[in-house]
Amino acid sequence: MRTAAVAERSGYSVQQIRNLERDGVLPPATRTDTGYRRYRDTHVIAARAYRALAAGVGPVAAKRIVRAAHHDSPATMLALLDAAHARLDAERRDLEATRTAVRHIGSEPLVEVRGSDSMTISQLGEALGVRTSTLRHWDAMGLVTPGRTALRGERVYTPADVRDARIVHQLRRAGYGIPALRLLMGEFGATRRWNEVLDRLTVRDADIESRSLALLAGASELHALRRERASCRVGAGR
């Protein structure tokens, strides 16, 4: 078939099909005596596989996976797929831990911040009973990120920062890990309402499900691609 037919059957434009061939996502097309590209079903399946995988893992990773599918050994392709599934699984577990953390912290309202308008890192560490190195680690991980003084660049924790530090401290003591807390504090910083955080986590959950289904569809196309390649080899050997 010609380029336009492949484009129509895979949902891409003619130029995108040429680009995918250039990038090795599609195997090289044969050429007619007059120089026109000629494609087979293998190219259509490879384009569909890439389309699905790109929705699941992004275009860069999808290209690596489909290029690996063109090799005789499936080891690299399978390893890349396994890694993609593992990343989605980790996201899903972190999301569920974050959702549980929201319910945990929401059921135990924190005491309002009292005292001065701001605290130094030493003062906050003493108030929470944690080392200043722990507070610096939370800063580096994006959990509690205070402002800095203009002259010496020292950390200054506002009442809002102190409240965030109390939240992190309480959840860390309850056993929640850094990835879940990073997600939670990022969402909380955007809304400052626990019920809205849960709504935003629901949106994230739907996104993970969508990417998982796309990865499943891509894997199905890869299986079809390998069967088509095997069929072509058998046909060529007759």
pTM above 0.85?
A: no
Same domain, 95 and 187: yes
Same domain, 96 and 191: yes
Same domain, 149 and 75: no
Task: Please check the confidence at residue 111 and state whether its pLDDT lies above 60.
Answer: no
Tell me how many domains the chain contains: 2
186-207 per-position pLDDT tens digit? 888 887 788 888 898 999 999 9
Same domain, 132 and 59: no
CA geometry: angle 9, 10, 13, nearest 5 deg: 100
Average confidence score pLDDT of the chain? 89
Same domain, 115 and 134: yes
Cα 44 from Cα 25, distance rounded (Å): 11
Same domain, 29 and 127: no
Tokens 């129509």 locate to: 8
CATH code at position 74: 1.10.1660.10
Same domain, 128 and 220: no
91-95, 163-167, 186-190, 200-204: least confidently modelled range: 186-190
Cα 34 from Cα 24, distance rounded (Å): 23
SS3 173: helix
Range(s) of the domain holding residue 106: 89-206
Q: Are 84 and 61 in contact (CB under 8 A)?
A: yes
Same domain, 144 and 125: yes
Same domain, 37 and 142: no
In terms of average pLDDT, the best of 117-126, 167-176, 216-225 is: 216-225
Same domain, 97 and 39: no
Helices (H), the chain: 3-10, 14-22, 41-57, 59-69, 75-106, 121-128, 132-140, 159-173, 178-191, 194-237
Residue 210 sits at φ, ψ, to 5 deg, of -60, -45
- Predicted confidence at residue 169, as pLDDT, reads 92
Confidence of residue 237 (pLDDT cuts 50, 70, 90): low
Between helix 194-237 and helix 59-69 the angle, nearest 10°, is 20
Q: Are 114 and 147 in contact (CB under 8 A)?
A: no
Same domain, 119 and 160: yes
Q: Rounded to an integer, what is the distance from CA 35 to the centroid of its chain?
A: 42
Same domain, 120 and 160: yes
28-39 per-position pLDDT tens digit? 999 988 888 899
